[in-house]
Amino acid sequence: MNTIERALGILLLLSGGQRRASGLAERFGVSVRTIYRDIDRLIALGIPVEAERGAEGGYRLARGYLQPPIALTRGETAALLVALTLVRGLRATPLLEDLDKAQAKLLASLPGSAREVMEQGERIVAIEQPPVDIFHPEPEPVAAAGMQAAVDAFMQGLLGSRRVRIRHENPYRGEVRDYDLEPCGLLFDRDRWYLYGWEVDLGAERFLRADRVRHAEVSGLVFRPRLDMTVQSQTGRTWLSRAMRRWEGEGVASEIRVSREQAAQLGRDWYYRHAFFEAEPCGGVRVRVPNVDPEVILPLVRWLGPGADLISPPDLRARLARELVEMAQDAGSAGEI
């Protein structure tokens, strides 16, 4: 028996439970030292062989490394392959290398005719990218190329119940912060991933954009999963509502008086529906948006049209008034022609 055959035999035996080195040596007719070298080769190949010392010790595979076989019908296999094709259309795919291996195994289980169709899943399934949002321009992601690495590290920490150290940049504030997180879940929204976890140092939940992560590393510190924290609690963009209240507290906001119809229209927008709406006795609605960027606020007021009154900040109100006068003058000149 050569080295490769013996290593494979050891792997098969370890998949059935813990084995002592002396028992393996006797089983394959080699020395214990040779078994040690074979175990080292398996570990070098990435196979998680664990050693336990003591009289009852021995070698074993890490729990969960080998999964029991699952029987799937042709339709079930095709459904999974379609789902994998959809996932590949995202800007980053969690555990992409593992996904490639899983897809190869699924394809191998299909008959030839079906396999030829599913091998080129992108021909039959497509994802439309989200349209540009002209009312909410954002800075370019600081680490778009690293989003895959950030998502993978976070997912590995989640599966292994291990903390993840993250370096995150906030382009609005121009600051970089380090976080020590216990991963709780991933959320995909508007073509980007968000990392949801518990920040150990501050003892609070944290919601971070993966495309703004500069570095992510799984640590060796194990944690007990928090069953009271689920990523489902963040759907409906509850994180955005909390962020807007926090931004308001920082004293940066624009106020716009609108009609009730315009307020209802803003209430259907994914972003502005989380602004602060306050009904006025006159029948209008005052909307407070935590943003004073003229490239955001002025297009919004123009889009709302007649009935929308920009109350504050004063400099934006004055700028809008000048632009409206210029537009009226241009319209008058065009009418004379």
User: Which pLDDT tens digits describe the chain residue by residue (337 residues)?
Assistant: 688 888 888 888 888 788 899 899 998 889 999 999 999 888 888 888 888 876 667 888 887 676 666 667 778 877 888 788 778 777 788 888 888 888 887 777 777 766 776 776 666 777 777 777 877 777 776 655 688 889 999 999 998 899 999 999 988 778 899 999 999 999 998 888 999 999 999 999 999 999 999 999 999 899 998 888 999 888 889 888 988 888 888 878 999 999 999 999 999 999 999 999 999 998 899 999 998 989 889 999 999 999 899 999 999 999 998 988 888 887 776 655 5
CB atoms near residue 119 (< 10 Å): 13
Check: pTM over 0.95? Answer yes or no.
Answer: no
Contact 1, 28 (CB under 8 A): yes
Which tokens in the block code for residue 289? 């948006």
